[in-house]
Amino acid sequence: GTRIIYDRAFLMNLKNSPLSR
Amino acid sequence: LGPLEPAPGEHKLQYNYCLWFAKKGCHRTSITQVKATEQEYGKSLHIVGRCASVEQWWSLYCHLIKPTALKPYRELHLFKSGIKPMWEDPGNAKGGKWVIKLRKNKIDRAWETVCMAMLGEQFLVGPEICGVVLCTRFPEDLLSVWNRTATDQASTARIRDTLRRILNLPPNTPMEYKPHCDSLKKS
């Protein structure tokens, strides 16, 4: 099946999302 | 532990992960009583948290103190759910680890980078990765990536090359691969 791949920039962008707190 | 799911709107990870903390050093002390030592080591491992999504990872990560603030001989293990960070776990028994020594001024960023690469499936070795470990020591810390199959040369080479790339390591940086069976024999 498809693997869920995220790069560093994408992950860093989500660091400050309201859902991440 | 019950099942863990991403909340609505969160970005699911390929695998669920568990973060463990241990106070012992990377090397075990007892030589003669392997079973006793295995149990003792198992008891020193504590689950800090779990994550099934990117958001859950950051929520966990943001509550942790930085590796440079940890005392020497502390360990952080970020492992796939279902694999205990011990050589003896069935997921690790036939595996091994790449070990890199890093100066204190590099470790915070390196730990974050390696965790993110694993969570984001950047190693591209399918289910081969078991987890990543940080061992604080003095004067250098150890960062290691554990994989399932020590004899899988294609995967171990790819893990090594990915580590070099994401950590931007100079070509002459020493990197050692240690099969867990060798570590078990030594202990």
Report chain A's C-alpha Rg in angstroms: 10
Q: Is the pLDDT of residue A21 over 90?
A: no
- The chain A residue lying nearest B114, using CA atoms, is A8
The verdict on a CB contact (< 8 Å) between B62 and A3 is no
Q: Determine the Cα–Cα distance for residues B116 and A9; give it in Å rounded to an integer.
A: 10
Q: Is the pLDDT of residue A19 over 50?
A: yes
Pick B182 or B52 by higher pLDDT. Answer: B52
Pick B45 or B24 by higher pLDDT. Answer: B45
- The chain A residue lying nearest B51, using CA atoms, is A20
Q: What is the pLDDT of residues B69-115, one digit of tens each?
A: 999 999 999 999 999 999 999 999 999 999 999 999 999 999 999 99
Q: What is the pLDDT of residues B62-71, one digit of tens each?
A: 999 999 999 9
Q: What is the pLDDT of residues A1-14, one digit of tens each?
A: 789 999 999 999 99
Q: At what angle do helices B54-61 and B104-119 cross, to 10 degrees?
A: 160
Q: Is the pLDDT of residue B130 over 70?
A: yes
- The chain B residue lying nearest A16, using CA atoms, is B58
Asked if B119 and B56 count as a contact pair (C-beta separation under 8 A), the reply is no
The verdict on a CB contact (< 8 Å) between B54 and A20 is yes
Q: Is A15 on the interface with B (CB under 8 A)?
A: yes
Amino acid identity of residue B130, one-letter, is: C
Cβ neighbors of A11 (< 8 A, separation 6 or more) are: B54, B116, B119, B120
Chains A, B: CB contacts under 8 A, how many?
51
| Residues of chain B contacting A7 with CB distance shorter than 8 Å | 120, 122
The pLDDT of residue B34 is: 59
Q: 3-class SS at B158?
A: helix
Q: Is B40 on the interface with A (CB under 8 A)?
A: no
Half-sphere exposure of B115 (CA within 13 A, CB side): 25
> Which residue among A3, A6, A21 sits closest to B54, beta carbon to beta carbon?
A6
The verdict on a CB contact (< 8 Å) between B55 and A6 is no
Q: Where are the alpha helices (DSSP H) in chain B?
A: 34-44, 54-61, 104-119, 153-166, 180-186
Cβ neighbors of B19 (< 8 A, separation 6 or more) are: B47, B48, B49, B50, B51, B60, B64, B76, B77, B78
